[in-house]
Amino acid sequence: MIAQKIILNENRNVTLTAYIQEVDGEFGFNKRPAMLVIPGGGYAMCSDREADPVAMAYLKAGYQAFVLRYTCTPKGKWPLPLMDYEQAMDQIVENSETWHVDVDKIAVVGFSAGGHLAACAATVAEHKPAAAVLVYPAVLKDICDMCQPSMPYPHEHVTPATCPCFLVAARDDRTVDISNSLRMELALAENGVAFESHIYSYGGHGFSTGEDWIITNSVCPRLPRWIPDSIEWLGEIMGKLTRGGFTEPVRAGSMNGNFTPVLSVDCTLSHLLKQSDEAQTVLAPMYAAIEAVAKARQFSTEGLMTAVGNNTAREIMEMVQIPAEAIAEIDKALHRIVNNLEG
């Protein structure tokens, strides 16, 4: 492994530390996913406990890992931290060949104030990550204004284009109230964005990886599982790194797929019905199955189609017992068709 520290801004003490693992040879693949770690610290510091220890956890899972130490007071204020993030992403993309990074599989993990920055990366940044892991993130007005007035409140900027998010927090957090994570979850749900949430019964604030050597207060014994859970979730969203390369993602990046560049079985039926004749041909087996169910139950086909219009094609095909292999083939065919977002 190679460790490299890059100075992004000397005056503001902004650095990007890259931990780069080998590829090819015994590994059998030529690119790895990447995780950009953004420590917390109230925008007044970058916590060591939420930096390298987190990077090491994702390195163990096969990721290239990067730690961003962004602008903190008194060196500067918002939007400088977001600009630091953009510069860090530029560095990762520009050096992707040297660093063996798959540019479509760059995720971000942020803690507290770093969670705010990661949430802004997911919502308002130019370089949006493929996925964001938000650990006790600062989201709401009271805590954001306390850190630095005039920062955005991420939940207000969630759209269907927001990347999938994984949220982690403890119910008894007295520093960043649990309402921050819950409100972010609600905004994601309202916009049809994929997310997974782990709210632990106790653990307070600042637990980082949750390991005994790093925590400063008592935590729920299940809490350290959040890192392996997040890695499994990232594998579902981006594809899992294996000896033979990346697997196909288990689920699309959006809950319903309606906002992705190409079609998939994770689009809703109502959305797919507005697509091209080519798409309708691909979906013919599903339509035939729906018609058969309607006939058997003495429903009108049109009425049944309306009733299940908000379900995804995947859900409908599973309900009518189309084999998984056939669903996968239909999904692959849909991926070749551009999504008509105005359809």
Q: Is residue 257 part of a domain?
A: no
Query: Which of 61, 68, 69 is closest to 21 using CA atoms?
Result: 61
Indicate whether 276 and 328 sit together in one domain.
yes
pLDDT at 45: 97
Indicate whether 84 and 231 sit together in one domain.
yes
User: 131-135 and 64-69 as β-strands: parallel, antiparallel, unpaired?
Assistant: unpaired
Q: Is residue 260 part of a domain?
A: no
Q: Is residue 251 part of a domain?
A: no
> Alpha-carbon distance 242 to 227, whole Å?
18
Q: Is residue 343 part of a domain?
A: no
Q: Is residue 307 part of a domain?
A: yes
> Alpha-carbon distance 51 to 39, whole Å?
5
Residues in the chain: 343
Q: Is residue 342 part of a domain?
A: no
Indicate whether 24 and 158 sit together in one domain.
yes
Indicate whether 286 and 324 sit together in one domain.
yes
pLDDT in tens, 185-207: 999 999 989 999 999 999 999 99
Are the C-beta atoms of 66 and 34 separated by less than 8 Å? yes
pLDDT in tens, 19-43: 999 998 889 899 999 999 999 999 9
Q: Is residue 261 part of a domain?
A: no
pTM here?
0.87
Amino acid found at 302: E
Triad 227, 220, 204: Cα angle to 5°? 90
Number of independent structural domains in the chain? 2
Indicate whether 74 and 191 sit together in one domain.
yes
Q: Supply the range of the domain harboring residue 275.
A: 269-334
Query: Which of 266, 270, 260 is closest to 317 using CA atoms?
Result: 266
Q: Is residue 134 part of a domain?
A: yes
pLDDT at 271: 95
